[in-house]
Amino acid sequence: MKTVQVRNITIGEGRPKICVPIVGQTKEDILLEAGTFARIPVDVVEWRVDWFENVFEFDKVEEVLKELRDALGNIPILMTFRTSKEGGEKEISVNDYAALNIAAAQSDYVDLIDVSDDELMKYTSKLEECVIESNHCKKCTSLKDCQNRVNGYFFKAFLENDKLNFSYVPCKYLLKEEEIYSYQKKITCYDLPEDIKKATFSNVYKDDKKRLPIIKYFKEFIDTYLKGENPKGIYLHGSFGSGKTYLIASLFNEMAKKDIASVMVYYPELLRSLKSSFGNDYEEKFTKLKTVPLLLLDDIGAENTTNWSRDEVLAPLLQYRMEEHLPTFFTSNLTKEELELTLSNTNNGVDKIKARRIIERINQLTVDLELISKNRRN
């Protein structure tokens, strides 16, 4: 004989199992009956839900089921709606019968359901799949843990035009990922890892007090920007690997949720990319850098400074963004004073005046903030 394991009970082997019904009309009567089972040997409890006065209000049915589960501990619960034609207490339409049983099956509280309607019997295998996948979802913590047939979806029964239908429905984790993807499309990365788009305020090591002034400025920046004013960006300098880029990326992600586009570029590689794109998409890329609402030039000062990179790329880029009041952000391992010294030295000699002009534009565009922290890349 085939056996069925329900909690701690194995049906189909050993002694016959004792199933005791509950037929109370009110919640109080039902729970009172359940409380008596601690004194008698009971293997399964059958709740005759057709007796319940609020059976057609599933939120109240679920409330009773929850308290029944608490009261009965690990005793399996069998839920039964016996229709009037079967000798039960109430008439019920096929649609209401289906909705009640499906909702109960997808709750955490019922172990067994007695389905007797001929129409529903046609769908027992599909209903079983609905319950199994719904239970998978309740234990799931992320998309990668999904155990369902179609990753990120669960099989669900629903009523449409008085007919029982089934469909795959996206789970909350898939919907969240799609929401994230939709706003991440507002962020363009040049020569930075795509994972930087996943940076969030909740993961910026708020336990590090050195980050608090930066986070505070971020909040002020968002408020000011959304009011239609022109907040300054940040020149964020500090120790190697301290998380400067991640911090700015978390701000850009927050702004992307508010439909604000941004570009983040690894500046040394950008220069090489621009130089190699002459005659191709140089103008298109450079125009985007100039006009995008938010721009991050990451690791400025790490590049090999040339007259071209300083005077033909950086100077006109910053000039345009300064004149158009477009927030611009920088990360660097150098202070502005050290950056000025780096920019003044090229293969063609020293030009302190042009380097000073660059720094003046950066000063116009940004507030100066420092982040000294442990290397978080290790």
Backbone φ, ψ for residue 46 (5° rounding): -100, 120
Q: Does one domain contain both 244 and 336? A: yes
CA-wise closest residue to 233 among 77, 138, 335, 366: 366
Parallel, antiparallel or unpaired: strands 44-48 and 19-22: parallel
Full domain range(s) for residue 223: 185-371
Q: Cα–Cα distance between 225 and 159 in angstroms, integer?
A: 47
CATH of the domain at 92: 3.20.20.70
pLDDT at 34 over 90: yes
Q: Does one domain contain both 105 and 247? A: no
Q: Does one domain contain both 189 and 106? A: no
Q: How many domains does the chain have?
A: 2
Looking at residue 118, its amino acid is: D
pLDDT band at 162 (very low <50, low <70, confident <90, very high): low
Per-residue pLDDT tens for 218-249?
999 999 999 999 999 999 998 777 788 989 99
Q: Does one domain contain both 196 and 323? A: yes
- Which residues, in sequence order, are bridge partners of residue 297? 265, 330
Nearby residues of 362 by Cβ (< 8 Å), 6 or more positions away:
235, 318, 330, 336, 339
Q: How many residues does the chain have?
A: 378
Q: Of 122, 146, 174, at which residue does a domain stop?
A: 122
Nearby residues of 296 by Cβ (< 8 Å), 6 or more positions away:
245, 248, 249, 252, 262, 263, 264, 265, 328, 329, 330, 331
Mean pLDDT, to the nearest integer, of 161-171? 80
pLDDT of residue 377: 57
Q: Does one domain contain both 354 and 282? A: yes
Could you give the 3-state DSSP secondary structure of residue 16? coil
The answer to whether position 86 is within a domain reads yes
The answer to whether position 195 is within a domain reads yes
Per-residue pLDDT tens for 189-215?
888 877 777 777 776 655 667 778 888
Decide: 93 and 101 in contact? Cβ < 8 Å.
Answer: no
